């Protein structure tokens, strides 16, 4: 009976794994089926590098370069803010904080993931947007900087949690050996713990960035939704995800606009897939 149970459990796990791969492939094929139709009327080069996004004008202008640049700008800003703070928090929780405080901090940070993005977007509109407007004396606080700060807050729980696990998984004899050789606590963390956990920390950063680039509601609410090439981080921008969320309900089924939105989905799918594959490679890297 034990062997029979193990056999069925193994096959069930195998089926679940194959099913998840199958569903991802189906999603990608569906996006390809709907999205590639736009290239009948517009070339891939003009679609990816065109500077104007006016999908309902005559003729339609379907250049998504402003959307790509807006997504990259917001993502880069969020990474610059969240990575140092997130890794620093992970180091503090893993190596510095007392045991009781460590448990409280880790549970609190992981609970932040449960806050819906629309709630964070509303909080950003009420508090962060007016603050950015007043501090920088701008006509509007709906800027890429507002989106970067809010997305950094959303990415930090992922970065902190995974990076802390990576630091905790470093063998204790590494730490004990460094301290026994006369290293200070900071030298032990900087020269031993961080290099030993580097693959896990990089994976945490990549997964955090993946969370940022796929976010929709928060960026749609506080970035201004202006489909123009951004000249600085203090101007309104529009991201790829926000464009799909804002326009899919209004697009006529079978129109160029409709197919173009699915093509944006293909671009997002490829970017997210590349980020997750990179994170997985770093996570399983063996020095």
pLDDT (tens digit per residue) in 124-137: 999 999 999 999 98
Rounded to the nearest 10°, the torsion over CA 178, 180, 183, 186 is 70
Q: Is the pLDDT of residue 230 over 60?
A: yes
Burial code (b: 16+ CB inside 10 Å, e: under 16) for 93-124 equals bbbebeeeebeebbeebeeeeeeebeebbebb
Average pLDDT, the chain: 88
> Exposed/middle/buried for 14, CB within 10 Å: 0-12, 13-18, 19+?
exposed
Q: What is the pTM of this model?
A: 0.85
Confidence (pLDDT) at 132:
92
SS3 224: strand
What number is the average pLDDT over the span 15-24?
91
**Confidence tier at 102 by pLDDT (50, 70, 90):** confident
What value does the mean pLDDT take over residues 15-34?
Answer: 90
- Judged against a pLDDT cut of 80, whether residue 282 lies above it is answered with no
Main-chain phi, psi angles of 208, to 5 degrees: -65, -40
Distances (CA, A) of 231 to 39, 228, 257, 268: 29, 9, 26, 23
């Amino acid at each position: 009976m034990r062997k029979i149970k193990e056999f069925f459990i193994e096959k069930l796990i195998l089926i679940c794994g194959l099913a998840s791969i199958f569903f991802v492939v189906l999603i990608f094929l569906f996006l390809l089926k709907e999205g590639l139709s736009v290239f009948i009327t517009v070339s891939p080069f003009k679609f990816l590098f065109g500077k104007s996004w006016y999908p309902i004008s005559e003729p339609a202008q379907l250049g998504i370069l402003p959307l790509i640049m807006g997504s990259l700008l917001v993502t880069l800003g969020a990474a610059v803010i969240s990575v140092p703070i997130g890794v620093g928090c992970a180091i503090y929780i893993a190596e510095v904080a007392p045991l009781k405080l460590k448990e409280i901090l880790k549970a609190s940070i992981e609970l932040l993931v449960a806050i819906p993005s629309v709630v964070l977007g509303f909080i950003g509109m009420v508090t962060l947007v007016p603050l950015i407007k007043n501090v920088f004396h701008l006509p509007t606080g709906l800027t890429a900087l507002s989106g970067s700060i809010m997305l950094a807050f959303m990415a930090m729980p992922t970065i902190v949690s995974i990076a802390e696990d990576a630091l905790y998984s470093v063998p204790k004899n590494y730490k004990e050996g460094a301290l026994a050789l006369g290293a200070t606590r900071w030298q032990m963390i900087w020269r031993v713990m961080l290099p030993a956990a580097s693959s896990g920390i990089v994976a945490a950063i990549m997964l955090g960035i993946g969370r940022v680039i796929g976010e929709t509601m928060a960026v749609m609410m506080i970035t201004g939704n202006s489909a123009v090439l951004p000249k600085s981080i203090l101007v309104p921008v529009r991201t790829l995800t926000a464009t799909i969320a804002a326009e899919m309900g209004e697009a006529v089924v079978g129109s160029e606009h409709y197919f173009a939105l699915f093509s944006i989905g293909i671009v997002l799918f490829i970017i997210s897939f590349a980020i997750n594959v990179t994170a997985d490679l770093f996570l399983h890297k063996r020095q």
